[in-house]
């Protein structure tokens, strides 16, 4: 996250994206997921598995929704690695 800077207090975090100049308010868990993605590219399925302990069965709905929101905000980029048919 070379372009992201964050500051947390309690369970809330502010994330500043230097390229866009946008500031986002996230909860600490969502920031942890964003940082996990930054460490290495990861699939939604891998994130669901990794964070299932946090979200339980709701991870199946929460993670894809969160990734969609991150994409819309410009915080992550979606890459499709499926082979061409």
- Does the pLDDT of residue 51 top 50, yes or no? yes
What the block records as the tokens of 68 is: 């969609």
What the block records as the tokens of 71 is: 């994409």
C-alpha count within 13 angstroms, C-beta hemisphere, residue 17: 15
Q: What pTM was estimated for this model as a whole?
A: 0.82
- Does the pLDDT of residue 30 top 50, yes or no? yes
Is the model more confident about 29 or about 1? 29
- Does the pLDDT of residue 53 top 60, yes or no? yes
């Amino acid at each position: 996250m070379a372009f992201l800077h964050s500051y947390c207090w309690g369970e809330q975090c502010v994330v500043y994206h230097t390229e866009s100049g946008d500031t986002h308010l996230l909860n600490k868990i969502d920031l942890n997921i964003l940082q996990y993605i930054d460490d290495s590219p990861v699939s939604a399925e891998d994130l669901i598995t990794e964070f299932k302990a946090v979200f339980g069965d709701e991870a199946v709905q929460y993670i894809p929704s969160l990734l969609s929101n991150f994409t819309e905000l410009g915080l992550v980029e979606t890459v499709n690695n499926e082979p061409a048919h």
